[in-house]
Amino acid sequence: MPPLGIAAILLFFIAYATVRIFMAKWYFVPEHNYLTPLYSPCVAENCVPGSSHFGTWLPALPFFIPLGIIAFPIVAGFRVTCYYYRKSGYRSLWASPQACAVKEPHTKYTGETRFPLIFMNAHRYFWYLAFAVLLINFYDAALGFKGTDGGFGIGLGTVIIWVNVLALAGYTLSCHVCRHITGGRLKHFSKHPLRYKFWTFVSKLNAKHGTYAMTSLFTVILTDAYIMAVSAGWFSDLRFIN
């Protein structure tokens, strides 16, 4: 994909996510426990009743602080510092480095040694936090199996949420940091057969890290847009079971 196309996708996602996190409404469907990932976990006192799956241990937040203040900075930091997004962002937004023998608008190339690009070195730490957020997303997805009578049920929203959480899992587990954690420091794979198998699995995922990175952007938007529409009453959730 050309740099202009990548830039358009990234800017669209940034604009969409920014608008949605400050809307502070239409993020939860209590009938089926659908909670958008942009607001999870919602732990402030002014969260919609039922959406606080982990309790309300923050006071009511003012309008200029998003209800997803816990996870959103983590997810944003993880994606911004991601190796794949670095390549895309440097070429399409930062315009440095663009390509071999291509003149750059910057007079001097300093790489990631100065502000603000030195911030990119925090990627490995963001991964640990992002993995915790992923577990929260899985928990939210499990709660989405709620029927109209309070029992077990599956709706179109359930399917969309699970497609999204699997895409996020693919993106998180295919990360270079995860590959390094599972087997990057091992000198003898034969002495660690289980870690070697997991490292092999992560390595296969890593080959498609860029695909998971871009796909998960669209699944997050789709999940949030669907939950917003159902929560706002624009249409009802399509139910398959109960």
d(CA 4, CA 11): 10
- What pLDDT score does 82 carry? 82
- Give the side-chain half-sphere CA count within 13 A for 81: 23
Domain boundary assignment for the chain: 3-103+115-241
Let me know: does 56 contact 47? Beta carbons within 8 Å.
Answer: yes
User: Full-prediction pTM beyond 0.75?
Assistant: yes
The model's pLDDT over 111-154, given as tens digits with 9 standing for 90+, comes to 666 666 667 778 889 999 999 999 999 999 999 999 888 899 99
- Is the CB of residue 164 less than 8 Å from the CB of residue 144? no
Q: How many CB atoms lie within 10 A of CB 65?
A: 14
Q: According to the model, what pLDDT value does residue 111 have?
A: 63
Task: Give me the residues of the chain with pLDDT under 50, please.
Answer: none
Structure confidence at residue 88 (pLDDT):
66
158/223 Cα distance (integer angstroms): 10
The pLDDT score that the predictor gives to residue 25 is 94
